[in-house]
Amino acid sequence: MSKKDILLVGVGGQGTVLAGKILAQVGVKAGLAAKVSEIHGMAQRGGGVVTQVRLGSSVSSPVVSRGQVDAIIAFEKLEAARWIPYLSSQGWMIVNDQEVMPLPVLAGEAVYPAGIIGQLCCQLHQLRVVQAVKLATECGSPRSMNLVLLGILAPSLGFPRTLWEEVIAEAVPPSTREVNLKAFGRGWALESTA
**Cβ atoms within 10 Å, residue 26:** 25
Going edge to edge, which strands form the sheet with 69-74?
A: 33-40, 48-56, 4-11, 69-74, 87-96, 127-130
Digit-coded pLDDT (tens) for 92-119: 999 999 999 888 888 899 999 999 999 9
Write phi, then psi, for 53 (nearest 5 degrees). -125, 125
| pTM assigned to the model | 0.91
Digit-coded pLDDT (tens) for 35-44: 998 877 655 5
Positions of the chain with pLDDT lower than 70, given as ranges: 1, 41-46, 192-194
Q: In this structure, are residues 37 and 62 in contact, taking their beta carbons and an 8 Å threshold? A: yes
Q: In this structure, are residues 38 and 7 in contact, taking their beta carbons and an 8 Å threshold? A: no
